[in-house]
Structure 1
Amino acid sequence: MATLPFPCTALPLSSADFQSTLNALGADAAAVWALLEVESGKAGYLPDRRPQILFERAVFHTRTKGQFDATHPGISAPTWGGYSGGAAEYTRLAEAYALSPDDALQSASWGIAQVMGFNFSPSGSSSAQAYVQAACASEGAQLQAFQSFLLHTGIAQALSAHDWNTVALHYNGSGQVAVYAGRLAANYAALQDPSKLPNLDVRAAQLYLTFLANSSNNAAFNPNGIDGLLGPGTLNALHAFQTAQGLAATSTIDDSTVATLTAALPAATNLALH
């Protein structure tokens, strides 16, 4: 099993991170969240604190000129697909990494915006390894890569204009543009209600509770979603954590709550491919 020297600190997105990206892109919050929700469901990390990924066998096939198609058809093929989803995508990545490390990292999409590894340069990184290392560190770094990629490619202008067909074409490729654009438009329409936009303190708490549920194997800590909305699932998980810590139960989430959750996390581990 390969382990890369990239600590998965997995810091959640902050309000400052998000506002900085809105300012740079000239986009509104609903437009950015509409795209992030389609790509990652609004979360950049798995419960084990590794970045969300999707390994693309067609990209690996292209980058390695098909030399592994016959021996490793699950991770190298001229057609798209073959996904396992979730943490199982790392098993596919590990198989490819054993064959051609740099090509493997470039053949996966990473984090909250699922920008492909081969786009490391327009995303502001010097190498695929540097890009992945940043993705392991924080959602802020993931969003910065997304921002750089959109500005470099011109997609930022289409996003700020809510031109969903153009965003779909240049962000996701020519396959199923209408379907992808429709999902973007539907998400954007739903987010016109300001109460549906994520609260980033709540969202940080949800992410940390998810990590704690996984690391402690305690399902009571699981908020059952990372959407930045303070609902009963999040409150129940928070109260279970506070009870376990001997703390008074609260019904709000603020900086102090997030700090308490942060302090309870185990030390970050390096990125494991398995």
Structure 2
Amino acid sequence: MAITSIQFDNAAKRLGVEIAAIKSVARVESVQGGFDSAGKLTILFEPHIFWKNLLKVGIDPKPLKLKYPDLLNPVWDKTLYGPSKNQWNKLILARTIDKQAANLSASYGAFQIMGFNYSQCGFADVEAFINYLNISESNQLDAFCSYLFSVHLVDELKHLDWSGFARGYNGPFYWQNKYDIKLKQFYDFYKANPDK
């Protein structure tokens, strides 16, 4: 179910930010929203994160790279993402190698929060986090608010510090995808069109 205007308003009050700022993050992170056209939770599987998580659990990713070239990689490579329709297939395949490592290696929902950030969203484990997000976009908004408080990004969003927010939310290479510029553009759009 889509986030209602009342839920956006409540989240904005909880964070002390503008509704347009929250909407801009959701739009940049996930154009299609928290669920895809088939009703499945929107995800993006990150091959370079999966590589790191496999190492953490003692699995050598190098031989797996030969068998699954687009499923894992030692460094970030945008070309390995593939189409959005394939993301769940990648996650399901990754789970056959190591379920925990796989679940930690995807981002979820309208705000595309990484699985490894489950504790910052208030969850005891990543499966509980995924299950909560899978219920509704409202739950995804709630997790987003909790996450911003945990990682101290509320002030950046409140003060419309797009580059500061982008750096904290997407990492130091945010500028490669013009993340800050897109945030500002969509903020301006939603500010001018509050009913959208």
Note the alpha carbon deviations across 1:40-88, whole angstroms, 9 max, x for none: 0161100111111000011111111172233233211112231123221
State whether residues 54 and 85 of structure 1, in contact with CA within 8 Å, keep that contact through their aligned partners in structure 2: no
Match of residue 208 from structure 1: none
SS at match of 1:16: helix
State whether residues 120 and 131 of structure 1, in contact with CA within 8 Å, keep that contact through their aligned partners in structure 2: yes
CA distance 1:16–1:64, shift in 2 (3 Å): same
Q: Does 2:158 align with 1:189?
A: no
Match of residue 173 from structure 1: 171
Instruction: Name the CA distance, whole Å, in 2 between partners of 1:129 and 1:56.
Output: 17
Q: Map of 1:127-138 to 2, 5 A cutoff? A: 127-138=125-136
Q: Please, what TM-score do these two structures have when normalized by structure 1? A: 0.65
Letter in 1 for 2:84: G
Match of residue 94 from structure 1: 92
CA distance 1:59–1:121, shift in 2 (3 Å): same
SS at match of 1:87: helix
More helix by share: 2
Q: Does 2:6 align with 1:16?
A: yes
Instruction: Name the CA distance, whole Å, in 1 between partners of 2:194 and 2:140.
Output: 19
Note the alpha carbon deviations across 1:88-119, whole angstroms, 9 max, x for none: 10111111111110111110000000000100
Moved over 3 A (4+): none
Note the alpha carbon deviations across 1:151-178, whole angstroms, 9 max, x for none: 1111111001000011010000011337
Sequence identity percentage:
28
Match of residue 107 from structure 1: 105
State whether residues 36 and 42 of structure 1, in contact with CA within 8 Å, keep that contact through their aligned partners in structure 2: no
Match of residue 27 from structure 1: 17
Letter in 1 for 2:70: G
Give 5+ residue unaligned stretches, structure 2. Answer: none
Q: Map of 1:1-274 to 2, 5 A cutoff? A: 11-41=1-31, 43-65=33-55, 67-71=60-64, 72-80=68-76, 81=78, 82-177=80-175, 179-193=178-192, 196-198=193-195, 228=196
Which protein shows a greater Rg? Answer: 1
SS at match of 2:134: helix
Instruction: Name the CA distance, whole Å, in 1 between partners of 2:140 and 2:112.
Output: 9
> Displacement of 1:125 after TM fit?
1.4
Mean Cα displacement is larger for which, 81-90 or 176-185? Answer: 176-185
Letter in 1 for 2:63: A
Letter in 1 for 2:166: A
Number of aligned positions between the proteins: 187
CA-based RMSD of the aligned residues comes to: 1.5
